[in-house]
Amino acid sequence: MTSTAVAVVLSTNIVISARPHVRSRCDLTAWDLLQLSNCYSQQGLIYPKPPIKFDDAVQRLRDSLSECLVHFYPLAGRLATDPETTVFVDCNDAGAQFVVAACHGISVTDLTADGDVPGAVRSFFPLTGALNHDGHSLPLLAVQITELADGMFIGCSFNHNIVDGESMCHFINCWSELSRGSRQISRPPLMDRAFFSKEPIRFVPSEEAIRVNKWPAHGLSSRVFRFSRKAMASLKAKANQQCKLEKGEISSLQALSTLIWRAVTRARKAAPGQMTICLMVVGNRQRWDPPMSPESFGNYVTAAFTRAPAGELLSRDLGSAARALNETVSSQTSEGARAFVEAWVEKPYLLSLEPIPYLILVASSPRFEVYGNDFSWGRPAGVLWGPAGKFDGMVLASQGCEGAGSVDLEVCLSTETMSALALDEELKEALSL
């Protein structure tokens, strides 16, 4: 790997829908509008070198993206503001950004090896630094196809006003399906959001409110920790054996989140009385009454906060600490979600991302299918996340390379804390299984 490697952009174009969509207005919900001050969401997939020429692979990706936008037409639109109501998506077929780049100083092995994520990855994603509100003029979806020394990287940037992690992965699943030659997608998205509010939301935020959040640009490291199926099964069994819940059980992701919460707290050298926080992003599709379809397109997530003094968190066993996290997640109900939406509509505000000391935020999910994203030249060799919106304490979960049951965690911390985390004995024991 060349230490100074960086992607060089070869071309930038706009891809429009293969078939025009009748221009329409797509209203946003409370969960969508909260994100106006947030960054785009970025996820990338690593592939070995395709068995066809790079230019031919790029053309296949461009054509199938155009076809995919027929089904996911809001992503080909732009944000607009109705001064009488609020921000919405103008489904005007303005198109998605399509970038082609090259970084021959980076190999697939460089991107999948243990250790810190190479800095070059920051150059593999388009629209880094853009806020969701910038979607008034910028594309709501941008993809970058980067040719590597021996492979390819597909980096996607989605406007977070339009999608959460589940919708983001749904889109990529359908795009890869069309790229493989399918004439139809197996899971068409559902765009209806009318069940949220009968009346239009009235909220036109100020420019000052939109630009309030600041993200650190330097001094952070990202590293992927890979947990095998065996490791995840062992963690779940250990947490449940120690906890013995009267109803339900600790999930494997809850057990893993507790493990990383404890390990990061130790690495940060938190004083015993220091309050620590584990924030889990919880999906509401299946919690809603009646349950929503997994194909419901948009943002349907809630933040679930669990707090514990560092001394208490670290003095208890894994299962006892996981119990509190489980109780927080279990308390997220349809009634609570409806109450949140109703309260927000009455008094709307933007997501504030003020730095919170001793916090970790666990986002995304290993339930999302990422290793099935075969664009016709095989499954991905790995998954990485872009730099947008990362901060000290961000933890991003994805399915591991073994498939269902295995988990990759991309952890973002200060360089000093990351060095200490890598030496944590409880974490090392789990990784060794």
CA distance 30 to 317: 38
- 374 is a catalytic site residue: yes
Task: Give the chain's end-to-end CA distance (angstroms, integer).
Answer: 29
Q: Give the residue among 89, 87, 96 at the shortest CA–CA distance from 139.
A: 96
CA distance 381 to 127: 24
Q: Which of 374, 392, 408, 424 is catalytic?
A: 374
Residue 86 Cα distances to 36, 130, 204, 227, angstroms: 11, 20, 5, 43
CA distance 292 to 289: 8
**b/e sequence 390-410, b meaning 16+ C-beta within 10 Å:** bbbbbbbbbbbbbeebbbbbb
Catalytic center residues: 374
